[in-house]
C-alpha cells in the first residue's frame, strides 16, 4: 500500500447531510479496497480565486490515506461522475 493525499472541492450549496453522504462515499472507496484513512482536514467553505463552473465558493477537504493504486483509479472515476464534486487532486506521498 502507498500513502496518498487528496484535496477535493465540493459544491458549497449542498446541505451538510448531502455533503457528509458524499464524503462517506468517497472514503468508502478507499476503505472497501483494504485502504486506511489516516487524516481528514476539512477546511470548510472558501471563496475561489476565480469562478469555476459559475460558482464562486466551494467546500475544501484534504485527506491523507493509504491505498492500492486500483482504489485511486476507482476514486478518480467516481469523482468524475459525481456532479457535486468540483475539483480534486491526488498526490503520491511516497
Domains of the chain, by residue range, sit at: 2-92
pLDDT at 94: 82
pLDDT digits 0-9 by tens, 41-72 = 999 999 999 999 899 999 999 999 999 888 88
pLDDT digits 0-9 by tens, 83-93 = 899 999 999 99
Q: Is the model's pLDDT at 33 over the cut of 90?
A: no
Of 64 and 29, the structure prediction assigns the larger pLDDT to 64
pTM of the model: 0.88
| Strand order, beta sheet including 55-67 | 36-52, 55-67, 2-11, 85-92
The rounded percent of the chain whose pLDDT value lies above 70 is 100
Domain 2-92 maps to which CATH number in 3.10.580.10, 3.40.50.300, 3.90.420.10, 3.30.70.60? 3.30.70.60
Amino acid at each position: 500500500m502507498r500513502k496518498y493525499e487528496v484535496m477535493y472541492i465540493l459544491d458549497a450549496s449542498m446541505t451538510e447531510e448531502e455533503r457528509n453522504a458524499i464524503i462517506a462515499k468517497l472514503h468508502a472507496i478507499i476503505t472497501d479496497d483494504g485502504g486506511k484513512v489516516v487524516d481528514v482536514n476539512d477546511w470548510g467553505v472558501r471563496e475561489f480565486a476565480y469562478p469555476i463552473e459559475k460558482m464562486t465558493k466551494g467546500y475544501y477537504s484534504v485527506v491523507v490515506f493509504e491505498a492500492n493504486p486500483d482504489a485511486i483509479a476507482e476514486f478518480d472515476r467516481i469523482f468524475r461522475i459525481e456532479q457535486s464534486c468540483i475539483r480534486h487532486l491526488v498526490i503520491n506521498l511516497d
